[in-house]
Amino acid sequence: RTEATPHPAVPASGPLPPTPKLTNTPLHRHEKEAARALADLYQDLVTDVSQMSPEAARYVRTRPWMTPELMQKWGVGWIPGNGRSLFRKNYLVYTHRNERGEVISYSGRDLSFEEKWETWLQQGRLEGKKPNKHRYVTGFHKGQELYGGFASRLKEPYVRESLDKYGLVVVEGMNDVIRLEELGVAAVALTSNRATDHQIQTLTRFAQQTSNNRITLFLFLPRLRRRRGGGVQRPALEIGGMPHRPSTRLFQPNTRR
């Protein structure tokens, strides 16, 4: 009696199947009707603190640079319960656009995050219970985008001036981008503390095209603690392997995020 030796479906030495490319489809031409209906959700966002929930109003008031004008420009605001929202009322909503300026998704900042974080710490950092500061729509590949990286910004005079003076400024979060605009500095955000390979490629291209290949990492470091011996822990924002001139500026503005 002989037994056939099973053959693997793919030879060990054979090529691996290509990894599917992650893309974010603009909502206005999404295949799902429910997604298309959200393309203009940013128009429903409330930017007047007098019309917000107490939690949202308190969050915005403690960040005076979050003016109604800037919030409207960036598509940021509190969402009323009108049945179209992907987020509950205790979130501040942010609009995400691609390089063409098309709306591709939304995210929400949990207005109760600080309280949830303190509770989590007091309960001993329970595994699987760590609260998230931001909530992103399922299916949104944020590592494929840069917040604030839409081309129409180049038409604004302050953006050209900022690029000439500081280079391409890279920050971590959405609020950082808005805060810096209020200061006259144009920035893009990773929406993370680590850049993906795709973001690095995009940053390199942006720097080559707009800022003479200069990139400035604008780091917010309030969380850093000094080790014994005077050393400082690794900064929260990490970008590795990027072919650009070394960053020469390290700022720590006194701002709430």
Digit-coded pLDDT (tens) for 194-240 = 889 999 999 999 999 999 999 988 765 444 433 333 333 333 344 44
Model confidence, pTM: 0.78
Instruction: Report the pLDDT value the prediction gives residue 82, as an integer from 0 to 100.
Output: 58
Quickly count: other Cβ atoms within 10 Å of residue 186's Cβ: 23
* DSSP state at residue 129: -
Examine the domain organization and report whether 177 and 218 are in the same domain: yes
Residue 183: what are its φ and ψ, rounded to 5°? -95, 0
Instruction: Report the pLDDT value the prediction gives residue 80, as an integer from 0 to 100.
Output: 80
Name the nearest CA neighbour of 147 among 199, 77, 76, 96. 96
Number of domains in the chain: 2
Under-70 pLDDT residues of the chain? 1-20, 81-86, 219-257
Examine the domain organization and report whether 167 and 200 are in the same domain: yes
- Which of 85, 108, 140 is the last residue in one of the domains? 140
Residue pair 175/257 in contact by the 8 Å Cβ criterion: yes
Q: Which domain holds residue 180?
A: 143-257
88: tokens are: 């509950």
Q: What pairing do the DSSP bridges indicate for beta strands 103-110 and 134-136?
A: antiparallel
Is 230 part of any domain? Answer: yes
What's the distance, Cα to Cα, between the start and end of the chain in Å?
73
- Which of 119, 140, 161 is the last residue in one of the domains? 140
Examine the domain organization and report whether 130 and 206 are in the same domain: no
Instruction: Report the pLDDT value the prediction gives residue 240, as an integer from 0 to 100.
Output: 40
Is 14 part of any domain? Answer: no
Examine the domain organization and report whether 167 and 253 are in the same domain: yes
